[in-house]
Structure 1
Amino acid sequence: MKVTVLILTKDNEELITNCLNSVKDWAKEIVIVDSGSQDKTLKICQAFDCTIHEVGWRGFSGQRNMAARKTSGEWLLYLDPDERVTKKLRDEIALLPEENGVSAYAVNRENIILGKFLIKGGWYPDEQVRLVRRKELLGWEGVLHEYPKVRRGIGKLTGAIVHLTHRGINWSLEKTIGYTDQEAALYFKAGHGSVRWWHLFLAPIKEFWWRGLAKLGLFEGTEGVITVLYQAFDAFLVKAKIWELQKGKSWKQVYEEVDERLRREGKY
C-alpha cells in the first residue's frame, strides 16, 4: 500500500525533523498543513521536499479535513510533529492491499511521558484511527479528541506510533491551560449541571482512582506517580473552570462589584 502522510504544524522546529525522518523513505508524499509557523519548521520541511500548504487555524478537525483536500493520495496517514512511525508499523502498512474492505485502520500509540514509555495508567495501547482511505472519509469531528467518520468498517494494525508527549512539568502546565479551557467550555455549552464544592474533590479523586489504582498507574515509578497526580489536577481544573463559566460574570466585573461594595461600606 502506498501512503500519503499528512502532518499539521506550527512552530515545531524541535520535533519535526525526526517525525519526517520516520517516513521520508517510505511515504509516497508528505503534505504539511501549517498554521503560521514563525520558526524554522517550514524551512526544515522544505529540505525534506514536502508539499506545504499554509492555512489559517480552524481547529484540529478542520485542519485534518483541510489536509485531506490538499492531496489526491488514496490512503492517508495522519501524524503530529511529536509522533514517529515505527519500522514495524511501516512494514505492516506496506504489506496491506489497496482494496481490503475497510475505510480506515486504528494503530497503537506508545506515549513517552516525562521520558518514559508508560503502559499502565490507561496510556497503552491508546488506539488512534490514523490511516484513512481518502474517498471513504466523511470528515473529522471533535474539538479536543478529534476522530474521523468513515463510510465502512475500521481495521486494526499491531504496529505503533511513538508519541513524545508531556515533555516536562512546565510544558504540561502550558498545554493544560488551553486544553482545560476548551474542555470546560464544551461541558458548559452542553449544559453541565451546577458545579458544587464536593465536585471539586470528587473529580480528581475519581481520576486518581481510575488511573492510579484501577489502571495501576501508580506502579510505573516516579513518572507514573507524577502523571497520575497531574491527571487528577487536570480533572480538578476542568470542574473549577466550569464553575467559573457558570458564574456568568467576568472576574473583572466581579472585582469591580467587590471594590464598589467595600467602598460603600467605608472600608477605604
Structure 2
Amino acid sequence: MLSAIILTKNEEADLPKCLESLTWCDDVHVLDSGSTDKTVAIAEAFDAQAHIHPFESFGKQRNYALDNLPIKYEWVIFLDADEVVTPSFKEALFNAISHAPQEVAGFYCCWKMILDGVWLKRCDNFPKWQFRVLRKDRARFTDFGHGQKEGDVDGKIAYIKEPYLHYGFSKGWSQWIDRHNRYSSQEAVARIQDQPPFKHIFSGNQSARNPALKSWLSRIPGWPFLRFFHAYVLKFGFLEGKPGFIYCTNMAYYEFLIQIKMREILQKRFEKISK
C-alpha cells in the first residue's frame, strides 16, 4: 500500500532506528550517496533495497528516486535517517492515504523535534510542514536553500497532522554545526536569488509563507537576535529547559551565518558592478 524511501550518507548511527520503525512496510528503499560506513550493509540487514546515486541536491535526489527506483506502490513516503515513524503517525498516514480523494496528490507532514529527550514544541515553532507523502507520478520536488519543497504537483496537497519524530542532533553538536555552516552558504544564495514576492508573507500556505519570511527577515538588522527572542521568549521556549536554550542559541547562530554570508555576496556584487 505504501513505499518508503530514505536518503542516506554515512547514517550507520541513525538508520537502524528509522528502519525499525518501518518493519510494517514491505517496500523500503535506501538511496545512498556514497557512504563509507556501514549504512548500506545495515539497509540490507533490514531487507531494505539499497541503491547508490551521487548526491547533487535534496530535490534532485528525491526526483531521481521517483524516476529510477522500482517503487512498488502508488503512495510514497520520504524519510531521513534521523526520523522515526511512531505508531500514531503510521495510523494517521494509512488513514489519510486510504481515504484520500483522487484530486489529492500528496500530503504535508510535520515532526516533533527531539533534543536530549525533550520535544521542542515551542522552540521549533511546531508544526513545521514538509511535503513528504505523495502519489507516484503526481508530484515532483524542487530545491530551495539547502533543502527542498514541492515542485510541480498534479492536484491538491492535504495535511497529516499527527507528527513523526525527528532526532536532528543525534550525531552531536560538532556535526550539526559543520553541516549548518554548509547549509548557511546555500541558504544565503537562495534567499538572495530566489526571493519570493513580499505578498507571500501573508499567504495561508506555510510552504509559500515560510520561504518568503526567511528571505525578507534575513535583511533586518539584528534578525538573529530577534529569531532567538521570538522562539525562546515570545513562544515560551524557556519552558523547555536547557535543551530549549541550546537549540534557540544555535538557531540564532545559524541565522547569523546566513546573514553575514548574504552581506558578503551582496558586497561582492556591488564591487563587481562598481568596477
The TM-score, its normalising length taken from structure 1, stands at 0.82
Residue 154 (structure 1) aligns with: 157
Q: Paired residue for 1:49, among 38, 44, 47?
A: 47
Residues 99-150 of structure 1, C-alpha deviations (whole Å, 9 max, x = no match): 5231112223111124421111243222222111112113344242411232
| Structure 2 CA distance for partners of 1:244 and 1:141, relative to 1, 3 Å | closer
| SS of residue in 1 equivalent to 2:263 | helix
Aligned partner of 1:219 in structure 2 is 239
**2:31 alignment partner in structure 1:** 33
Contact 1:181–1:241 (8 Å) recurs in 2 = yes
Which residue identity does 2:175 align to in structure 1?
W
Change (3 A) 1:114 1:182: farther
Bigger mean CA deviation after superposition, 128-137 or 55-64: 128-137
8 Å CA contact retained: 2:113, 2:124: no
Residue of structure 2 aligned with 1:178, choices 167, 174, 182: 182
- Report the 3-state secondary structure (helix = DSSP H, G, I; strand = E; otherwise coil) of the residue aligned with 2:35: coil
Q: Identify if the C-alpha distance between structure 1 residues 105 and 44 changes in structure 2 by more than 3 Å, giving closer, same or farther.
A: same
Q: Indicate conservation of the 8 Å contact 1:60/1:143, yes or no.
A: no
Question: Which amino acid is the alignment partner of residue 45 of structure 2?
Answer: A
Partner residue in 2 for 1:19: 18
Indicate the SS of the match to 1:46.
Answer: helix
Q: Tell me the SS of whatever aligns to 2:268.
A: coil
| C-alpha distance 201-86 of structure 1, shift in aligned 2 (>3 A) | same
Could you report, residue by residue, the CA deviation over 1:229-249 in whole angstroms, capped at 9, with x for unpaired residues?
A: 222222111111122233439
Residue of structure 1 in register with 2:98 after alignment: 97
Per the alignment, do residues 92 and 239 of structure 1 end up closer, same or farther by CA in structure 2, a change over 3 Å counting?
A: closer
Q: Which amino acid aligns with 1:65?
A: N
Deviations 1:5-59, CA, capped at 9 Å, x for gaps: 00101110001011011012x2130111110011000001111222222111120
Report the equivalent of 2:64: 66
Structure 2 equivalent of residue 207 of structure 1:
227
3-state SS of 1:12 partner? coil
Distance in structure 2 (CA, Å) of the matches to 1:127 and 1:99: 18
Distance 1:79 1:225 in 2: 27
Displacement after TM superposition at 1:212 (Å): 1.8
Residues 144 and 190 of structure 2 are in contact (CA less than 8 Å); yes or no, is this contact kept in structure 1? Answer: no
* Aligned residue type for 2:159: K
Shift of 1:89: 1.5
The answer for the alignment partner of 2:4 in structure 1 is 5
Q: What amino acid maps onto 2:38 in structure 1?
A: K
- What is the distance in 2 between the residues matched to 1:203 and 1:49? 47
More off after superposition, 214-223 vs 139-148: 139-148
Are 1:166 and 2:165 an aligned pair?
Answer: no
Q: Aligned partners of 2:267, 2:250: CA distance in 1, in Å?
A: 26
Q: Is the 8 A contact 2:57 2:143 kept in 1?
A: no
Describe the superposition over 1:193-241 as per-residue Cα deviations: whole angstroms up to 9, x where unpaired. xxxxxx7851212212221222222222111112212222221111111
Q: Which residue of 1 aligns with 2:213?
A: none
Question: Does 231-240 or 75-84 show the bigger shift?
Answer: 231-240
